[in-house]
Structure 1
Amino acid sequence: VTERYPALCLDYAWALALQGQPAEAERLLTLAEAAFRDVPARYGLVLSAQIHVARIRHDLPRTIDLSQRALELIPAEAAEPRSALTLNLGIAYWQMGRLAEAGAALATAQEAAGVAQNHHVRLLALGFGSMALAAQGQWLQAADQLRAALKSGATSPASSVIHLVLGALLFEWNQLDEAESHLQQAIDLAQASGNSELECSAHRQWALLKQALGQAPAARAALTRAEQVAGAQAPPQTSARNSAVAVEIALAQNDLATAQVQLAAMPVPAAASLFFPTLCLAPARLSLAQGQLSAA
């Protein structure tokens, strides 16, 4: 029934993509694209959904290309779709380490989402924008932004990313009790929103926190949960990030054998850090732990 109604295909594809089912979402988007190719406004919405699928698959060049194409189609006054498009563009830039471009796109996304009164997109843009700020050394400004955002809705599902990033910042500052509170809320809210990508990130950060607290079994359990949330068909970058955190935790537990297995299982280079996604330190850290200084 869905396939006979292109608009329903588009709506359902969005729901599937947000729940971490990109393959089925892409199939429905192909149907919607064929129906709406000659309707610019609708086609722009299809492109927006395709961009989201490309992003959760970590196909960053495609994400950027589709985003730029879609922004050319959508009128400047169409704040709602433009906010989602610039959000995905900013996240792709951030994941590629293009921080200045990421910050500019995410600021534009926040502004457009404010005009459109899209609370969800605004908070996502603010969360990722804060990560870009932190990665450029502006840690205090990032924390101030995040705390201000929580004053307007700390318990809404869209606030998951805000709690996640603030929790990760507090973890870096060794404020572990407060970090734990925010990360628990990040997990709970991500589950409530059905955003598997955010939930997976929150479990990884929770694993690092538990290891820092000396709770090794809880750290391993959090890693297992991250893998379960990612699923068997997880994008390579998601699996790699899980492995990067697993390497870091295994090394902290002086388990070099497990660290070596996890590193070998890493499908693509990835970082354990939430703030520096292109900084893959797992091979160097393992080499140092093995006493292979020249390899590190």
Structure 2
Amino acid sequence: MLNVLVTGGNGQLGCEIREVAPEFADKLRLFFVTRENLNLESESEIETFISANQIQAIVNTAAYTAVDLAEKEPEKARSSNVVIPKLLAKIANRHKIKMLHVSTDFAFDGKSGKPYKEDDLTSPISIYGKTKEEGEREVLKELPKAIILRTSWVYSKYGNNFLKTIRRLGKERPELKIIYDQIGTPTWARDLARVILKMIQTKDLSGFYHYSNEGIASWYDFAKEILDLSNLKTKILPIETSEYPTPATRPTYSVLNKKKIKQTLEIEIPHWKDSLKVCLSELD
């Protein structure tokens, strides 16, 4: 039995890890922590928790993910996305325990035009992306054998996300204008949660991996599918990024190449439309 500390226990990914935890109950004992019950900026508190619970692995899902707000409060973003992961990695190294750190497609600038591989050059273009990319580097400095798992466009029935925003707006407004020239892949947090728990118990895994659902989409495609599956008749219009300026610049193409994770874990990844259907069936 592996004792695993899971940070960000109340976030959408943390909540989905709770959902799938029973499937792994014979191999993993999960300890979920939130900002309320463990101060992740306190080295002594984390040390005490790890020793008291005989923690053997850390899954770090805690992050600052407000992409636009990060432009106004970079220090807050840096605290969650760089300082805390670095500290966790330092402690993990001291205790000789495993660590999986969740990162993002926003580590890339989106100019590639083809799905990003793990060893492609990072070049973030927003404060959020820059702090997440710096966090990756700091984690590996402290713990060279850490796992960095990049993902994209995460949604779930929990937390605040694009799926829930579109459903709410679809009920409130007769018409929505959605960006069609940013391309990526939606990822259901539950699919991601299963992969994380599979990875943390797999021996000798380290370095970068990419995971999202299969397929590609624009935000317009994603929104249209959400509205169609929710039987909402809201009119939806495609617009260009330039017509909807935001404080943070986003990558125009941030599809992730998942060949490495599929081969390593010997998994099949669900298409984003299939996973969206299952997620929505739980919301209705």
In the superposition, the TM-score normalised over structure 2's length comes to 0.32
Which protein, 1 or 2, shows the higher relative CO under an 8 Å CA cutoff with sep ≥ 6? 2
- Relative to its length, the structure with more helix (as a share) is 1
- Relative to its length, the structure with more strand (as a share) is 2
Larger radius of gyration: 1
